[in-house]
């Protein structure tokens, strides 16, 4: 089982700023724990602050991986391009958000990805990534 986690803009700051919303763990530390927990899963991780790099990564993995866990961060609410890329690939995508986007500002309630996603997980903190992996097993 080959899965990839793709994180979008500013998620490289996890654990460093706004711990009240996003927690105090860095994603790199959490990713190591995920790898230990899911030893039978070939798990990769990619983070970019650049929309086109996220689209390129979706094209690269979107025909040969078994699943994509995508937290496109702010691009979720703005990017027709990432939404189109998710529609254009074959690998199923689980959209994920650490925070409960529906309990936050109105502009976070809309997603360009959700309609093409296999499912959406939000509001469970970093634990959501674990739930997303389990959804593919
Ligand atoms: O809850 C999520 O996972 C979000 O995708 C996070 C995005 C936000 O724009 C989405 O509406 C919901 C923001 C990621 C920013 O991450 C930071 C982490 C630490 C410090 C500052 C920003």
CA distance 90 to 68: 10
- Say what the pLDDT of residue 25 is: 84
Q: Is the CB of 25 under 6 A from ligand 1?
A: no
- The position carrying tokens 């654990």 is 15
* Contact (CB, 8 A) for 131 and 71: no
CA distance 56 to 29: 25
**Closest residue CA from atom 10 of ligand 1:** 73
CA–centroid distance, 88 to ligand 1, in Å, is: 25
- Fold category of 2-136 in CATH: Rossmann fold (3.40.50)
* Prediction pTM value: 0.96
Token readout for 85 is 């890329």
Residue 97 catalytic? Answer: yes
| Catalytic-labelled residue, pool 45, 75, 97, 129 | 97
- Say what the pLDDT of residue 23 is: 78
Domain boundaries, the chain: 2-136
Output the CA angle 63-65-66, nearest 5 degrees.
Answer: 115
Residue 22 catalytic? Answer: yes
Residues of the chain with pLDDT under 70: none
């Amino acid at each position: 089982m080959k899965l990839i986690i793709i994180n979008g803009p500013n998620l490289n700051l996890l654990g460093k700023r706004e711990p009240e919303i996003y927690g105090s763990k860095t994603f790199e530390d959490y990713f190591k724990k995920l790898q230990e927990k899911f030893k039978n899963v070939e798990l990769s991780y990619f983070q970019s602050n650049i929309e086109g790099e996220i689209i390129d990564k979706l094209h690269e993995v979107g025909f040969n991986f078994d699943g994509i866990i995508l937290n496109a961060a702010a691009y979720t609410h703005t990017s027709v391009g990432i939404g189109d890329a998710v529609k254009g690939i074959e690998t199923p995508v689980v959209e994920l958000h650490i925070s409960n986007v529906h309990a936050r500002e109105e502009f976070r309630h809309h997603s360009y990805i959700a309609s093409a996603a296999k499912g959406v997980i939000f509001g469970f903190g970093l634990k959501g990534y674990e739930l997303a992996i389990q959804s593919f097993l």
